Amino acid sequence: MVVAPPSAMTALTLAEMHVRRWELKAVCSCCGIKLRVSLPAMIRTYGPDAVWWGRKPACPGLECDGGSLTYAARALRGGSWVSMAQAPGDVAMAAYSKRQRTYPGPR
């Protein structure tokens, strides 16, 4: 089975990433802190429809001077990490709304 690399075309929201069992991590470019991201915890906090592509929240590091986190995702254990720094474009948003029509309702 071929698994496509992480892309906003494949999974736009936190719930879609979780269904595909993606892993997420966050890295601060300023202090270098690395955080493992729990998708179930993210979904509890921000909701299943939250879009994390293009998000750069402030770094929580106490020693950090105004850095921001950039996220990366990977589809398989041992697969390559793909940066999520790019906000989803119109094409990805259109693909998402098409998926919602094809598979209505939560699983």
Residues within the interface to Zn ion (CB under 5 A): 28, 30-31, 59, 61, 64, 67
Of the pair 64, 72, the CB lying nearest Zn ion is at: 64
Tokens of 10: 């494949």
Integer-rounded Cα radius of gyration of the chain: 14
Q: Minimum distance between the CB of residue 90 and Zn ion, rounded to whole angstroms?
A: 32
Of the pair 50, 64, the CB lying nearest Zn ion is at: 64
Q: Minimum distance between the CB of residue 67 and Zn ion, rounded to whole angstroms?
A: 3
Of the pair 19, 35, the CB lying nearest Zn ion is at: 35
Burial of 33 (C-beta count, 10 Å sphere; 0-12/13-18/19+): middle
Q: Minimum distance between the CB of residue 62 and Zn ion, rounded to whole angstroms?
A: 9
Distance CA 95, CA 60 (A): 33
Amino acid at 51: V
